[in-house]
Chain A
Amino acid sequence: MNLAELQKKLIAAARTEVLDDRVPYAFEKRVGALLASRVAPENMDLWVRGLWRAAISCVAVALLCGAWAFFTPATTASSDDLSQNFETTLLASVDQNDQAP
C-alpha cells in the first residue's frame, strides 16, 4: 500500500473539514461572571496575606527582643551609669574635636 498517498488523501480530507465556530449561549457572560468572582477573593487574599506577613514579622521581632532581654546579663557596675554614658555618647564628637591638634 502506498502510505505516502494514503497520508496525502487523509490530510486532504482534513483540509476540507469546515471549521465549527459555534459558541455556547452567553459564553461571554459566563467568562465575565467567572472573572468577577475571581477578582473579589483575590483582593481579600492580598489583604489577608499582607496581614499575616505583618503578624509574623511582629512575632519575630517580639521574640528577638525577649531573647535579647533575657540573655543579656544585668549590669551592676557603678561606672555604667546611664546618665554618664548618655552624656559621653552625646558629646563624643565634641570631645574628638577638642582632642584634635
Chain B
Amino acid sequence: MERTEAELIAAVLNGDAASFEPLVQKYSPRVFATARRYARRDSEVEDIAQEVWLKAFDKLKSFRGEAPFEHWLMRMTVRTCYDFLRGHQRNRESSFSELSEPENDWLERFVTAPETASDNADAAKLLIGRVMEKLSPPAQLVITLLEIEDRSVKEIAHLTGWSVPLVKVRAFRARAEMKKILAKMTKEKYL
C-alpha cells in the first residue's frame, strides 16, 4: 500500500532516510522546472535541485504540515534559485554586440513593423533570456515571478520571504532596470 505524504515525512523525521526518496521522485519535476527558469546549464540546474533537496531534508523538522508540502518546498526552491543568482552574476557585464542572426532579425522586424514581430518566436525567447541574464538577482527574480509566472505580490512575498512593500519596490526597480537594459541594447545596435 502506498504511504501518504504525511506518513513519509513522519518516517523521515523518525530517522528513516529512505522514505525521503518517494518525495524526491514526486516533486523533482517541479523543482527542476523552476530551477530551469534561473539557470541555463544542466549541471547548474542539477546542482540547484540537489541543494533544494538537501536543504529540505535538513529543515524537514520545520515543516509543520499547515500548508501542503509542495508549497513549503517551492518556497525553498525559489530561495535557493535566488541564492544561485546572487552567486552567479557572470553575464551581467557582457555587451549585446554578439546577438545571433535570428535575434537580430527579430529586433529588426520589431523596429520596422512591431505588430509583425510575433510573441512566441524562438528568437524573442533567446533575446529575453539575454536581457534577464543582465538583470540584477532581485530584479531577475521579481520579473520572473511577477511578469512571467504572473504571480501576485502577496504570493511573491510568501515565496521569497520579502515583505509586500519590498516586493513592490523591487518590482518597480526591476521594470526600470529592464527598460534601461533594453535601451542599452537598442542603442548598441542602432546607434
State the CA gap A23–B186 with chains docked (Å): 37
Q: Is the CB of B121 within 8 A of A31?
A: no
Q: Is the CB of B148 within 8 A of A14?
A: yes
B172 at the interface (CB under 8 A from A): no
A99 at the interface (CB under 8 A from B): no
Q: Is the CB of A32 within 8 A of B24?
A: yes
A11 at the interface (CB under 8 A from B): yes
Which of B47-55, B67-75, B85-93, B153-161 makes up part of the contact surface? B47-55
B94 at the interface (CB under 8 A from A): no
> What secondary structure prevails in chain A residues at the interface with B?
helix
Residues in B with CB closer than 8 Å to A17 are 125, 148
- The one of B32, B42, B110 that contacts A6, using a Cβ cutoff of 8 Å: B110
Which of B3-11, B14-22, B76-84, B163-171 makes up part of the contact surface? B14-22
Q: Is the CB of B179 within 8 A of A2?
A: no
Residues in A with CB closer than 8 Å to B49 are 23, 27
Q: Is the CB of A7 within 8 A of B57?
A: no
B99 at the interface (CB under 8 A from A): no
Residues in B with CB closer than 8 Å to A4 are 179
State the CA gap A59–B190 with chains docked (Å): 76
Contact with B along A9-45 (1 / 0, CB 8 A): 1111111110111111001111110111011000000
- Interface hits, B20-58 → A, CB 8 Å: 20-22, 24-25, 28-30, 32-33, 36-37, 42, 46, 49-50, 53-54, 57
State the CA gap A49–B178 with chains docked (Å): 51
State the CA gap A66–B120 with chains docked (Å): 81
Supplied contacts A3-B183, A7-B175, 11 more A-B pairs, CB within 8 Å = A3-B182, A6-B186, A9-B119, A11-B148, A13-B125, A20-B36, A22-B29, A32-B17, A32-B24, A34-B54, A35-B54
Q: Tell me the A residues contacting B by CB distance below 8 Å.
A: 1-7, 9-17, 19-24, 27-32, 34-36, 38-39
